[in-house]
Chains A and B, each alone.
Chain A
Amino acid sequence: MKIAGCTTLLLNTMFYACREAAISMVRNFWMNIVVVFVIIVSLVILGGAILVVLNADYFASSLESDVEISVFLKPDLDQNTVLEIGERIKDTPGLLEVEYISKERALEQMKASFGERAGILKNLEQNPLPDAYRIKVKDVNQIAALAQSFEKFPGVDKVRYGQGLLEQLLLVTYWVRLLSMALVIALGLAAVFLIAATIRMSVLTRQNEIGIMKLMGATNWYIRVPFFIEGVMLGLIGAITAVAVVSWGYMELLQRLEVAVPFINLVPETAVLTSVLVVLLGLGVLIGATGSLISIHRFLRV
């Protein structure tokens, strides 16, 4: 009975709190529009950046299987040294597979790839190709570091890996990550302070009301909750809009790319979008809650 009473009390109070929050939001309409807009912009940028990075990672991992390091050995090594180098390579952590390709095998492979024109190779007096190890790595991000370490092995002549595309891709995602993080943090902070400013304004416009509420025995909690709800709602509205913009944009992009450049694989929408959606909604609420708490704390010392 007592618990039921408390629950209805709480429900009534929440109803009044939500109503007051709604009234307040209508009253500060234009300020709220600006706040919501800033939240939308920052969350859309964040969502876009997450999608770019996720897709780049996805693309990189699809390249991963094709990416190998080739370690070419110096020409006049005896068989033992060749094997020793092989053992040393295999001892390095982070490798998926190490394959030895002797110069004879390399020549055969080359002949096979030349096909009908393999005749050119018959004129060779001796095999010009070096012995080599072909290495597959677990993590593409490690590839440059691994290649460098192999270069220092004695007996190693040259190290080659899928330089170019992959490196550039990794560099792009690195910068996208860095820039978007900086931008998102800056815009997020701006959004938090804008929310704090709006809530401060609604506190000030309702100063009178708050004073009367206190005289009538309103608890601190009762006075504060509407402002908290207002802040969270602003964050949520911004986040929902941002989610809509990002999802629509991504699906649109997927459709266009499928037609224009079918060989580029993007992460299919449902897998990514749900997680991005959750992140954006959570951040929107967090921004709203933080902003309103700052103002409640500073301007509602009841």
Chain B
Amino acid sequence: MIQFYNVSKIYKNKVPALLDVTLRIKKGEFLFLVGPSGAGKSTLIKLIYREEVPSRGQVMFNGKNITRFSSGEVSRLRRKIGMVFQDFRLLPNKTVAENIAFALEVTGASRENIRQAVPLTLAKVGLAKKIDQYPAKLSGGEQQRVVIARAIINNPVLIIADEPTGNLDPDTSGEIMKLFQNINRSGTTIIMSTHAWDIVDRMKHRVIRLKNGKVEGDEDSGVYNLAT
């Protein structure tokens, strides 16, 4: 589904964030992206949803070269991708329902559709009762569930999670990971960057290890490998 061909990304400060990365991600995979801060995890993720354009090399998504996408094509690409962030990025002045509805509204979905889809999706993440709450009233774990609901309401083919458990305690993290596991079982590809070695080691999925912008390791059912 996703291919990187000799991708390098050099920001304006001349330090390469990614160097000559070539990799391939198949549909339905669950993939951990690990490595120390500044290793290039965020850059790699941003290249997939076209927040950044590679300085060299090509990124393919479903057989299309997304480096050459127009802004309209970028919009359509992003509607196929659900985004989950460490800092949630919920709108504080909108209710849970409105925050989730947002993702459907930008696609031009009808209000009728949205009215049906929102409670259904909230039920999937176990938050049906919090539908009219504001994010500030929710715990960190609950907020992250709202973010996941927002990410999956479009039925995306891919979910990108950038350190989704970074602000959560271990128990809550475990629940969030169960959610991701369920979403992955229904066929959605998941790419997750993380520092949580225990989660990575426990779940036995593919692990791509980045260091100084290079792929240092790529193994199926890998471990975090603290030594790096």
Interfacial residues, chain A to chain B (CB-CB below 8 A): 8-10, 12-13, 15-16, 208-209, 211-220, 222, 302
Given contacts A10-B108, A16-B105, A208-B91, contact A216 B71 (CB under 8 A): no
- The distance in angstroms between the C-alpha atoms of A8 and B113, with both chains bound, is 12
Q: Distance (Å) between the CB of A202 and the closest chain B CB?
A: 13
Determine if A212 and B49 form an interchain contact, defined as CB atoms under 8 angstroms apart.
no
Q: Distance (Å) between the CB of B40 and the closest chain A CB?
A: 20
Residues of A near B83 (CB, < 8 A) are 215-216
Contact partner, B107, options A208, A209, A217, A220, Cβ 8 Å: A217
* B127 within 8 Å of A (CB atoms): no
Determine if A217 and B108 form an interchain contact, defined as CB atoms under 8 angstroms apart.
no
Residues of B near A12 (CB, < 8 A) are 105, 108-111
Given contacts A12-B109, A222-B106, A302-B71, contact A217 B79 (CB under 8 A): yes
Q: Distance (Å) between the CB of A17 and the closest chain B CB?
A: 10
Map CB proximity to A onto B75-88 as digits: 1 under 8 Å, 0 otherwise.
11111010100000
Determine if A213 and B102 form an interchain contact, defined as CB atoms under 8 angstroms apart.
yes
* B103 within 8 Å of A (CB atoms): yes
Q: Which 3 pairs between the two chains have the least Cβ-Cβ distance? A: A217-B78, A217-B79, A218-B106
**Residue in B78, B81, B89, B106 with the greatest tally of chain A CB atoms within 10 Å:** B106
* B72 within 8 Å of A (CB atoms): yes
Closest chain A residue to B80 by CB distance? A217
Q: Distance (Å) between the CB of A14 and the closest chain B CB?
A: 9
Q: Distance (Å) between the CB of B88 and the closest chain A CB?
A: 10
Closest chain A residue to B72 by CB distance? A219
- The distance in angstroms between the C-alpha atoms of A70 and B126, with both chains bound, is 98
Residues of A near B75 (CB, < 8 A) are 217-220
Residues of B near A219 (CB, < 8 A) are 71-72, 75, 106
**Residue in A8, A13, A219 with the greatest tally of chain B CB atoms within 10 Å:** A219
Q: Distance (Å) between the CB of A102 and the closest chain B CB?
A: 85
Q: Distance (Å) between the CB of B62 and the closest chain A CB?
A: 15
Given contacts A12-B109, A212-B89, contact A217 B77 (CB under 8 A): yes
Determine if B78 and A216 form an interchain contact, defined as CB atoms under 8 angstroms apart.
yes
Contact partner, B76, options A8, A212, A217, A220, Cβ 8 Å: A217
Residues of B near A8 (CB, < 8 A) are 110
Contact partner, A9, options B51, B79, B91, B108, Cβ 8 Å: B108
**Residue in A209, A211, A215, A220 with the greatest tally of chain B CB atoms within 10 Å:** A215
Map CB proximity to A onto B42-70 as digits: 1 under 8 Å, 0 otherwise.
00000001010000000000000000000
- The distance in angstroms between the C-alpha atoms of A279 and B157, with both chains bound, is 53
- Which B98-148 residues sit within 8 Å CB-CB of chain A? 102-103, 105-111
Q: Distance (Å) between the CB of A237 and the closest chain B CB?
A: 24
Determine if A15 and B111 form an interchain contact, defined as CB atoms under 8 angstroms apart.
yes
Q: A12-B108, A216-B79, A217-B81 are in contact. List 12 more A-B contacts (CB 8 A).
A: A8-B110, A13-B108, A208-B89, A208-B91, A211-B89, A212-B102, A213-B102, A216-B103, A216-B154, A219-B72, A220-B72, A222-B108
Closest chain B residue to A221 by CB distance? B72
Closest chain A residue to B94 by CB distance? A209
Q: Distance (Å) between the CB of B96 and the closest chain A CB?
A: 15
Residues of A near B103 (CB, < 8 A) are 216
Residues of B near A13 (CB, < 8 A) are 108
- The distance in angstroms between the C-alpha atoms of A219 and B83, with both chains bound, is 17
24 A–B contacts from the bound complex (CB under 8 Å): A8-B110, A10-B108, A12-B110, A13-B108, A15-B111, A16-B105, A208-B89, A211-B89, A212-B89, A212-B91, A214-B78, A215-B51, A215-B78, A216-B79, A216-B102, A216-B150, A216-B154, A217-B74, A217-B76, A217-B78, A217-B81, A218-B106, A222-B106, A302-B71
